[in-house]
């Protein structure tokens, strides 16, 4: 089964998109996955976890706090005929299942203004999938601080995020924890419905220049030395 044919099942599950594909492409190019123990921390439909299994990972574990995402990942892994251990729970519980050779994550990273209500953005998908708090870093900050602890010696983190959630802050935090961190992939994409809904907040909080309707996504790779 090709990852392009991933089914989302419940509407409450994040539909794979630019960030999912950018992360998978970075994994494919890295040669870091075959024969390794991998964890996908915010798995959604399981698209990245399944890609890791198809790239020859020795074991794949996937976590998500959404029961719909867990069901979706189990169904997609079955259809793809790959083994993925799917766990209902927060990414922060991954350490209990580790250590891992490779940690992959497409976390919620969109900066979300205080006036945003679930009703306002209902058409743009489940808020838990993309809501990164006022600065987009509610998962990124603790994840960058604790990634090294989930990894075995010589292991690597692959993390995708937006420019609007402060790429430099992620790099600095990962380096502070003793990892060698760099951007290994980037792409400019048009604003989708989620960012259109947050444009005012992005402008008011100084993250967005007037008239700009493109977002830069990056994949950060951080190696545990």
Sites of contact with ligand SAM (CB under 6 A): 14, 16, 20, 42-45, 47-48, 63-66, 69, 90-91, 106-108, 128-130, 139
Q: Closer to ligand SAM at the Cβ: 8 or 208?
A: 8
Report the distance separating Cα 140 and Cα 161, nearest Å: 9
The candidate with the shortest Cα–Cα distance to 110, out of 12, 25, 208, is: 208
Q: Find the shortest distance in angstroms from Cβ 218 to ligand SAM.
A: 14
Cβ closest to ligand SAM, residue 44 vs residue 136: 44
Contacts of 221 (CB under 8 A, 6+ apart): 26, 30, 156, 157, 158, 181, 182, 183, 184
Nearest to ligand SAM of 81, 93 (CB atom): 93
- DSSP state for residue 142 in the 8-state scheme: H
Q: In the bound complex, what is the minimum distance in angstroms from residue 45's beta carbon to ligand SAM? A: 6
Nearer to ligand SAM, 175 or 186 (CB): 186
Q: HSE-up of 79 (CA within 13 Å, CB side)?
A: 19
Q: How far is the CB of 225 from ligand SAM (least distance, A)?
A: 27
Tokens representing 164 are 């609007």
* Beta carbon of residue 153, minimum distance to ligand SAM (angstroms, whole number): 25
């Amino acid at each position: 089964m090709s990852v392009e044919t991933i089914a989302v099942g419940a509407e409450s599950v994040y539909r794979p998109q630019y960030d999912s594909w950018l992360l998978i492409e970075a994994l494919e190019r890295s040669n870091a996955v075959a024969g390794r123990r991998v964890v996908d921390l915010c798995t959604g439909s399981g698209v990245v976890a399944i890609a890791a299994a198809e790239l020859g990972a020795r074991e794949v574990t996937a976590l998500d706090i959404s029961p719909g995402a867990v069901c979706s990942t189990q169904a997609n892994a079955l259809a793809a005929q790959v083994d993925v251990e799917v766990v209902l729970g927060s990414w922060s519980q991954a350490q209990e299942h580790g250590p891992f050779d490779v940690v992959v994550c497409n976390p919620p990273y969109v900066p979300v203004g205080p006036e945003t209500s679930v009703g306002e953005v209902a058409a743009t998908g489940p808020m838990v999938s993309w809501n990164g708090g006022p600065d987009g870093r509610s998962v990124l900050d603790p994840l960058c601080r604790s990634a090294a602890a989930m990894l075995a010696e010589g292991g690597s983190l692959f993390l995708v995020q937006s420019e609007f959630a402060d790429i430099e802050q992620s790099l600095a935090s990962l380096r502070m924890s003793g990892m060698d961190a760099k951007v290994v992939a980037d792409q400019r994409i048009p604003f989708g419905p989620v960012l259109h809904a947050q444009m005012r907040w992005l402008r008011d909080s100084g993250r967005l220049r007037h008239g700009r309707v493109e977002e830069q996504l990056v994949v950060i790779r951080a190696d545990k030395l």
